[in-house]
Structure 1
C-alpha cells in the first residue's frame, strides 16, 4: 500500500521539476522571460502549499485513500490542460490544478508511516519513501529531456498525464486503510474546528523555527534542480538539452539514496537539530561557491555534492514529528509540508525576479540567483538556531 501511495508522490516529484527541462520550449513558444519562468515554476509550489491546509484536514476527516483519490484527478486534468495549453495563461492554470491535485501525495505517505510503523523506524521509512519518490525526479532527467527534444514539451506533459492515470488506478486497486493499533473512535470535528486546531500550531513558539527553515532547505535544492539547473548548464557552459538532462538524471539517482542514508544516520532527538543546522549552513556555502564557479566539470561535481547533502531534509521531518505531542502530529506534518512548498513557490518566484534584475544590469543571472539562495538559506539556518525549541526535545529523557 505504501508503494502504491508513493507512485503518486513520485509523480508529484516529476511535476515539480519539469520546468528546468521544458524551459527552453516554453520560452520559444510563449516568449517567457526569466521572471515569467520563475512564476511558472513557483505556481506549482504555491498551489501545492496553500492546498496543504485543506488536504491536511481532509486526510484526518476522510482518510488517506479517499483524499488522494479525490484530489488526483485535478492533477491529471492539469497535466492534460498543460499539454494542450494555447497560451501562457492556460499553462499557468494547468500548474494550479497539478499543484492542488498532488498536494496530499507525500503527506499521505508520511501519515501512513506515522500511523502504521513504529516511532523508532519513522526516519528510516520516511527516508526510504523520499528515495522511492525520487524516481519521479529520474523521469524528469534524461527520459523527459529525450522526449522533449524529439517531440516537444507538450508530449512530455501528455506522457505525465497518462502515468498519473495509471497511478490513480493503482491506488484505487491496492490501498485500503487498516485500523491503527489501539485506535479509539473520536467525535468528528467540524471544518471550523479543524481549521482552528490547525491555526493553533502557529501560536506554539517553537513552530516558527521549524517553519522558517522548512521554507528554505527543500526550496533551495528544488529551485536549483527544478528550475535553474537546465538554463545554468546550457547558457553558462553550452550543454545541450540532453546533456543537461543527463546531469539531472544523475542528480536524481543520488536523491533516490541519500534520504534513506540520512534516515539510517539519524542521531536521535537531542542531536538532530545540530545536524540540521550545520547541514543547512554547509548547503548555503555550496550555493555561494556555485555562484562563482565557471568550470563545467567542476560545476557538475559540485551539483552532485549538493545532491548528496540534500538528503538531510528527511531529518527535518523527524524533527517536526518529535516536536509535538501525538495528537498534533498530523497537523504538524501538514503544516511543515505546506511551509516547504510555499517556500518553493516564493524562492522560485523571487529568484526569477533576481535573474531578470541581474540581466537588466548586465550581470550574469545565475551568479545572482545562487548568491540569493545562499543568503536566504544562511539566514534561515540562523533563525532555526535562535528561535525557541520544543520542550519535548530539550526535556531530559
Structure 2
C-alpha cells in the first residue's frame, strides 16, 4: 500500500521538476522573462503548499485513501490543460491545478507511516519513501529531455498525464487503509482548524517552519528550475546533456534520503546535525554561484542532491516535536511550509535573475548566492529560536 501511494508522490516529483527541462522551449514559445519563468514553476508549489492545511483536515476526517483519490484527478486535468495551452495564463492555470491535485501526494505517505508503523521506524521508512518518490525526478532527466527535444514540451505533459492516470488506478486498486486503533468521536472542520491554531501557538513551531521553508526549496529550485538553463548558458551544454546531469542528480538523491534515514539519531544530536548539514548545503550553493568550472557546477549539484537527504531528519524532528494527537496536522503544516517556501524561493530567484540581467551581473551567480543567503539566515533562526521541550 505504501508503494501504491508512492506512485502519486513520484508523479508529483516529476511535475515539480519539469521546469528545468522545458524552460528553454517555454521561454521561446511564450516570450517569457526569467521572472515569468519563475512564476510558472512556482505556481505548482504555491498551490501545492496552500492546500496542505485542507488536505491535512481531509486526511483526518476522511482518511488517506479517499483524500488522495478525490484530489489527484485534478493533476491529470491540469497536465492536459498545460499540454494544449496557447497562452501563458492558461499554462500557469494548468500548473495550479496540478499543484492542487498533487497536494496530498507526499502527506498521505507520511501520515500513513506515522499511523501504521512503529515510531522508531518513522525516519527510515520515510527516507525510503522519499527515495522511491524521487524516481519521478528520473522522468524529468534524460527521458523527458529527449522527448522534449525530439517532439515538444507539450508531449511531456501528455506522457505525465497518462502516467498520473495509471497512478490513480493503482491507488484505487491496492490501497485499503487499515483501521486505526481505538474509537474517537468524529471531529468537525471547525475543530480541526482550531487544532491548527494551537499548533501555530507553540513557540518552537516558528524555527521548524522557517528552516523547512528553505531546505527543500533550495534543492528543487536548482534541480527543478535553474539547472538546465545554468548548464546550457554557462557551460554550453545541449538539452540532452543537461538532462543527463539532471538524471545523475536525481539518481544520487534517491540514495540520500534512505541513507540519512538510517543515520538518524533521536535527541539534541539530531538538531545539531540538521544545523551542520544546512550550513554545508549553503556552502555548496555558494561554490556553484562563484565557480566557473563545469566540474564545480556538476559536482556541486550532485553533492547537493546527496546532501538534500538530511531533510528526512527535519520530518523526524517534527514527528517528536508535537503530541501524537496532532502529528498529522503538524506534518501538514511542515509540508505546507516546504512548498510555499519553494514557490517563494522560485519567485525570489526569478526576481534576482531579472535584477542581475538589468545590472550586467552573471545571472546564475545572483540566483545561487540568493539561495545560499536564505539558507544561512533560516539556519540561524532554527538554531536560535525556541526548541521543543523534551
Report TM bin, short chain.
Answer: over 0.9
Aligned structure 1 segments of 4 or more residues deviating by more than 3 angstroms: none
TM-score (norm 1): 0.97
Does structure 2 retain, via aligned residues, the 8 Å contact 1:213–1:384? yes
- Residue 283 of structure 2 aligns with which residue? 285
CA RMSD, 1 decimal: 0.7
* Aligned with 2:318 (options 310, 317, 320): 320
Does structure 2 retain, via aligned residues, the 8 Å contact 1:53–1:335? yes
- Residue 45 of structure 1 aligns with which residue? 45
- Report how far residue 301 of structure 1 moved: 1.0
Structure 2 residues without counterparts, runs of 5 or longer: none
Structure 1 residues without counterparts, runs of 5 or longer: 393-397
Q: Aligned partners of 2:188 and 2:65: how far apart in 1?
A: 20
Does structure 1 retain, via aligned residues, the 8 Å contact 2:21–2:144? yes
SS at match of 1:388: coil
Tell me if 1:227 matches 2:213. Answer: no
Q: Aligned partners of 1:341 and 1:257: how far apart in 2?
A: 22
Does structure 1 retain, via aligned residues, the 8 Å contact 2:61–2:186? yes
Q: Aligned partners of 1:88 and 1:280: how far apart in 2?
A: 35
- Residue 294 of structure 2 aligns with which residue? 296
In the TM superposition, what whole-angstrom CA distance separates every residue of 1:73-97 from its partner, at most 9, and x where no partner exists? 1110000000000110100000000
- Residue 87 of structure 1 aligns with which residue? 87
- Residue 153 of structure 2 aligns with which residue? 153
Tell me if 1:10 matches 2:10. Answer: yes
Aligned pairs for 1:331-346 (under 5 A) are 331-346=329-344
Tell me if 1:34 matches 2:34. Answer: yes
Does structure 2 retain, via aligned residues, the 8 Å contact 1:128–1:260? yes
- Report how far residue 220 of structure 1 moved: 0.6
- Report how far residue 306 of structure 1 moved: 1.2
- Residue 202 of structure 2 aligns with which residue? 204
- Report how far residue 244 of structure 1 moved: 0.4
- Residue 351 of structure 1 aligns with which residue? 349
Tell me if 1:309 matches 2:299. Answer: no
Q: How many residue pairs are counted as aligned between the two chains?
A: 390
* Greater CA drift, 103-112 or 288-297: 288-297
Does structure 1 retain, via aligned residues, the 8 Å contact 2:72–2:102? yes
Q: Aligned partners of 1:306 and 1:390: how far apart in 2?
A: 28
Does structure 2 retain, via aligned residues, the 8 Å contact 1:269–1:322? no
TM-score (norm 2): 0.99
Q: Aligned partners of 2:86 and 2:302: how far apart in 1?
A: 37
- Residue 117 of structure 1 aligns with which residue? 117
Does structure 2 retain, via aligned residues, the 8 Å contact 1:4–1:174? yes
Q: Aligned partners of 2:48 and 2:295: how far apart in 1?
A: 35
- Residue 240 of structure 2 aligns with which residue? 242
- Residue 170 of structure 2 aligns with which residue? 170
Q: Aligned partners of 1:261 and 1:324: how far apart in 2?
A: 25
Q: Aligned partners of 2:315 and 2:167: how far apart in 1?
A: 25
- Residue 254 of structure 2 aligns with which residue? 256
- Report how far residue 297 of structure 1 moved: 2.3
SS at match of 1:391: coil
Q: Aligned partners of 2:209 and 2:295: how far apart in 1?
A: 35
